[in-house]
Structure 1
Amino acid sequence: MGNYETFYQLHHKETPLILANAWNVKSAQIIEQNGYDAIGTSSGAISNSLGYEDGEKMPFDELFFVVQRIKASTNIPLSVDLERGYTNDLAVLTENIQRLVDIGVAGINLEDAQGEEIYLKKLHSIKNYLEKSNQKIFINARTDGFLLKVDAPLETTIKRAKAYQDAGADGLFVTAVSDTATIKEIASSTTLPLNVVGSPKLSSIQTLSECGVRRISMAVLLYRASYNQLDKLIKEVSAQQSFGPLF
């Protein structure tokens, strides 16, 4: 079974896929060693760790270097946060996708912050290329209506979910939604496996599962928690004038 097939099946089990998001080889290896079924990357975490702001501020080549090292150093399916594709040129987008396929990446997140029209052009282009070249990669269609506070975000999300499914998306990723009633309505409106990020209001995996969520991501949260702990340790060493906090 290939990477795509394995990753696809993880979205169609009775229990949700819990996806921890890595930013370098070591974080990815720790995720794998602790029994997770797959690894996701976080663009925000990778960008920040390299000194860039999030939002495609880092060059694709630098993202690819990190992804390539993660894939070469782990054995479970890897999904890459591709933001908006790191280009508006469809030919370059195809090249980016092919580079990821070549190293064995199982899936991508592709976000629609530029709007539905541009997004559908990119999604159609990727799917057409993959079909013609007889290749597969799991496309998790990220829709940011709630995050960007568009008018009627629920209706917009449901409309986009149908359009993205018709265009060949494998999953639906809805950001910035954290109330159970809304999540249930979105989940019931589509047959695509629904992905959300855990939040302070909805941190229970069981609750999210009961809402119909099939994939739960940590996004940049694991990265932030790790470096908050590092910040705390550094401060304790300085305050105590002792290396004791490190042991």
Structure 2
Amino acid sequence: MSDQNRGAAFRALHQKGNPFILANAWDIGSAKMLAGLGAQAIGTSSAAHAFTLGRPDMGHVSRDEALAHAQDLVAAVSIPISGDFENGFGDDPDSCAETVRLSFEAGLAGISIEDTALPSANPYDRALAIERIKAATAAARALPGDFVLVARADGVMNGQYDLDEALARITAYEVAGADCVYVPFPGTLSDQARVCAATDLPVNALAAGPLSQVSSADMAQAGVARISLGSALARVTHRVINDAAQAMFASGDFSILGTGISGSAVDALLKP
């Protein structure tokens, strides 16, 4: 699929009240498995990617590393790939714009940019956050193909501002030209519905925390257009590693190893 077709196909998936699942992968194998199991689009995960490098989350992966990782996933599957690109790998608007251009060149169908001054949890001032999204969307519109720019308001998740501030930010991001908005961990499903009602843009919701306990139908009723997994699926695999290791090293119990998916089932999903 060409870059232009990939971006257009990705944009078409974003329908308010009819959410698709953006399945966040962390390596080629997980991307191919998720695609083989029916994912319509794949997202990278900054946290899950960092885990594969033996690093913690929040600003510990460089732009070059994130782009190379994304290119690996683009080459591995035929469905659209979106990049979870933290704060755009720079504080200034020009850095965000350059990240958009490089992401398109890497074959991505879109990226998300958050408003956190990494590696701290501090949010950018609202005015600067808006200017960063303006620069990113201007760069996206200047590309030779379609590209979906997602503007994130992460301060609620990080405990830095309240939901009212997040709503003010995503409303401004809409005016700035963003294609989709995202408030991770807004609270309850009712809070997520408030986010969706605050904008005419498609809204991404994160299937984590309280929202991992509701269905995609519930998300649709709230007005969600896209449901991402973030690092949640990767953390489930880490939970299995943790539980197996605890059992093995503490009491010599290997029984959990008998519950895994068969090698032949994995092989079937990984075939070209």
TM-score by length of 1: 0.90
Q: Tell me, yes or no, if structure 1 residue 121 matches structure 2 residue 124.
A: no
Distance change in 2, residues 1:179/1:162 (3 Å): same
Q: Is residue 192 from structure 1 mapped to residue 201 from structure 2 by the alignment?
A: yes
Q: Distance in 2 between matches of 1:178 and 1:235?
A: 32
Residue by residue over 1:208-245, the C-alpha shift from the partner in whole angstroms, topping out at 9 and shown as x without a partner, is 22111111111111001012223334455551479963
Matched, 1:205 2:216: yes
1:229 corresponds to 2:232: no
Residues 82 and 108 in structure 1, CA contact (< 8 A), matched pair in contact too: yes
Q: In the alignment, does 2:156 pair up with 1:140?
A: no
Cα pair distance change 1:78/1:160, threshold 3 Å? same
Q: Name the counterpart of 1:31.
A: 34
Q: Percent identity?
A: 28
The residue number in structure 1 matching 2:170 is 161
Aligned-CA RMSD value: 2.3
Aligned amino acid, residue 4 of structure 1: G
SS in 1 for 2:21: strand
Query: For the Cα contact (< 8 Å) 2:17–2:219, is it kept in 1?
Result: no
| Letter of the 2:226 counterpart | R
Taking a change above 3 Å as real, the CA distance of residues 132 and 16 of structure 1, as seen in their structure-2 partners, is: closer
Aligned partners of 2:87 and 2:192: how far apart in 1?
A: 24
Is the counterpart of residue 100 in structure 1 residue 103 in structure 2?
Answer: yes
Secondary structure at the counterpart of residue 178 of structure 1: coil
Q: Which residue of 1 aligns with 2:13?
A: 10
Displacement after TM superposition at 1:117 (Å): 2.3
Runs of 4+ residues over 6 Å off in structure 1: 241-244
Q: How many residues align?
A: 246
1:13-62 deviations in whole A, cap 9, x for unaligned? 65211111111111111110001100011101101210222222122111
Distance 1:110 1:243, change over 3 A: closer
Specify which of 54, 61, 76 is matched with residue 51 of structure 1. 54
Distance (whole Å) between structure 2 residues aligned to residue 6 and residue 133 of structure 1: 16
Structure 2 contact 97–138 (Cα < 8 Å) conserved: no
Output the amino acid matched with 2:81.
Answer: L
Give the match's secondary structure for 1:94: helix
Match of 2:227 among 216, 224, 239: 216
Consecutive unaligned residues in structure 2, runs of 5 or more: 117-122, 263-272
Q: Specify whether residues 53 and 189 from structure 1 end up closer, same or farther in structure 2 by C-alpha distance, changes over 3 A only.
A: same
Counterparts in 2 of 1:89 and 1:14: CA distance versus 1, 3 Å = closer
- The 3 A distance-change label for structure 1 pair 7 and 236 is same
Q: CA deviation at 1:130?
A: 3.0
- The verdict on how the C-alpha distance between 1:13 and 1:180 changes in structure 2, with shifts beyond 3 A counting, is closer
**Which of the residues 112, 124, 138 maps onto 2:115?**
112
Please say if residues 16 and 203 of structure 2, whose CA atoms lie closer than 8 Å, have aligned partners that are also in contact: no
What is the Cα deviation at residue 190 of structure 1?
Answer: 0.9
Contact 2:32 2:76 in 1 (8 A): yes
Distance 2:143 2:219 in 1: 37
TM-score under structure 2 length normalisation? 0.82
Check the 8 A contact 2:115/2:154 in 1, yes or no.
yes
Aligned with 2:43: secondary structure?
A: strand
CA distance in 2, matches of 1:243, 1:219: 26
Contact 1:178 1:199 in 2 (8 A): no
Amino acid at match of 2:8: E
Contiguous gaps of at least 5 residues in structure 1 = none
Change (3 A) 1:132 1:40: closer
How far apart are the structure 2 equivalents of 1:132 and 1:179?
A: 37
